Amino acid sequence: MEIFSAFFERPKNIRFATQEPGEKIIFVLRKAFITNIPWIFLSILALILPFIYMQFSLNSSENILGFSRKLEVSLIVTWYLLTIVYIVERYITWYFNVYIITDKRVVDVDFSPLFSKRISETTYDRVEDTSFSMNNIFQTIFNYGDVYLQTAAEKREFEFHSVPNPSLVQDKISDFAAETSNS
């Protein structure tokens, strides 16, 4: 399922706004899907919690917290709305925060929930150094980590956070940077 994928290698059906004619996309990356597990778990908990409360509340003649039924219903409704808002906001933030690696440059699309977006890019002739890191046991087991690019561009450092296959991504970027500096 594409809507849950975080790693696309040479995708056929992906394009981006500033793509030049003939420019080929090598990788499109999002944060590894496993990084979403904490908020998904929290959301499931938030969805279940009112059910547990209602089980106790319906079985007792008096409301547990002493609220009127109307107030009780409105609090539960508000709780669910906030949970939906939280899920939607977290998901679209993950979905639209992408890193694009083409045969000509690297593009970082930063999407802040609801209000802003920022697109940074650098060409390979400006890339000075690349590295990657896998910082904990989860990153090692599930093969995701951070990729760093030092550049001579206005934005000094590009950081790809928690992307899948960081060694492959870093290797490809350094290959392109080496090719560009040799030619």
Partner 1 sequence: MNENIDILTTFTSLGFDGLIDKVVSLLMLIIVLLYIIFSMIVVRQVYLMSDVIMTGSNKYIKFFSWLQLAFSFIFAYFILQVFVIQ
Residues within the interface to partner 1 (CB under 8 A): 1-3, 11, 13-17, 28, 68, 70-71, 73-74, 77-78, 81, 84-85, 88, 92, 95-96, 98, 100, 109, 111, 114, 117, 119
CB of 89 to partner 1, least distance (A): 8
Nearer to partner 1, 64 or 71 (CB): 71
Strand ordering across the sheet containing 157-164: 127-133, 144-151, 157-164
Q: How far is CA 171 from CA 26, 73, 174, in A?
A: 12, 55, 5
Nearer to partner 1, 68 or 182 (CB): 68
In degrees, rounded to 5, the angle at the alpha carbon of residue 163 between the alpha carbons of residues 159 and 164 is: 150
The distance from CA 26 to its chain's CA centroid, rounded to whole angstroms, is 19
Nearer to partner 1, 97 or 170 (CB): 97
Phi then psi for 132, rounded to 5 degrees? Answer: -140, 160
Return the closest-CA partner of residue 90 out of 65, 111, 66, 60.
Answer: 111
Nearer to partner 1, 14 or 45 (CB): 14
CB of 138 to partner 1, least distance (A): 26
| Residue bearing tokens 């290797």 | 171
CB of 90 to partner 1, least distance (A): 12
CB of 55 to partner 1, least distance (A): 22
